[in-house]
Amino acid sequence: MTKQATPRKTVSFSAEAFEAINETEIRWLGNSGILLNSRGTCIMVDPVLEGFDLPLLIDMPIKTEEVPKLDGILMTHSDNDHFSLDTLKNLLPVTESFHAPKYVAELYSEKFHTDAIGHDIHTTFEIEEIKILLTPANHLWQNETSKFNRVFQLEDYCGFWIETPDGTLWIPGDSRLMEEHLQMPEPNAILFDFSDNEWHIGFDNAVKLANTYPKADLLLSHWGTVDAPNMNVFNGNPADLFDKVVNPDRIKELAAGERYILRKN
């Protein structure tokens, strides 16, 4: 059995991470989730703090009941390793707004009987001083199985381009590499999925994406979180990247909960 690479010990945090600050910081929550605090405006993207359907390799850096407030939750798609009903239910009382592709927003509204804001790909919206653009993604794996009773469309998935006063973060989301992904402005940081999986970017294409934006910091995601050594989607090894990525010192192998300060290049 393959031994999975795992991150360093989780750095726990609590309410202090949501206070007003004079910069923008990002904390990896495990898998593909992050907390972004930009000068006191706090957003979570794809948080799964509880309700994983696989055993975990890490401790979660914060419990849902410890989250004091969120100005928004952003969701890239409806897979349960991103769209956690348990997490979302418990965060609902402290969350001001929920944003996602229209299909995912409809799921949220139906489940929790509350408003959610659905967006088209290539449209923008703002949360306080943060400007957010939905970027395209191709993750149509559901259409290869009879498990679902609908035909999924490209517009059911997205990434997020997030502009803060202190720099830009791009979250491509779970996606095969698309030509548009290679034609973006250079971000200051990328939440970087390097899963060698046919419905994710694939390792070689992850390297291609990284080297298309040679100044962007790479915040590694979708690895080292769930105990699934035989599932390539979860078991990428950061060590495989260092001799293939231009400027490898920009590879940020964060522990869950560790602070990363977003800065303009």
Amino acid at 265: N
CATH number of 15-259: 3.60.15.10
Locate the domains of the chain by residue range: 15-259
Q: What is the pLDDT of residue 147?
A: 84
Three-point CA angle 149, 172, 135, nearest 5°: 80
Query: What is the pLDDT tens value at each position of the chain, 265 positions in all?
Result: 568 999 999 999 999 999 999 999 999 999 999 999 999 999 999 999 999 888 999 999 999 999 999 999 999 999 999 999 999 999 999 999 999 999 999 999 999 999 999 999 999 999 999 999 999 999 999 999 888 889 999 999 999 999 999 999 999 999 999 999 999 999 999 999 999 999 999 999 999 999 999 999 999 999 999 999 999 999 999 999 999 999 999 999 999 999 999 999 8
Q: Which residues of 29-48 are buried (b: 16+ CB within 10 A; e: fewer)?
A: bbbbbbbbbbbebbbbbbbb
| Tokens read off for 3 | 């031994």
DSSP string covering 145-166: SSS-SS---GGG--EEEEEETT
CA distance 37 to 44: 9
Q: What is the pLDDT of residue 148?
A: 87
Q: What is the pLDDT of residue 59?
A: 97
Question: Quick one: 185 exposed, middle or buried, by C-beta within 10 A (0-12, 13-18, 19+)?
Answer: exposed
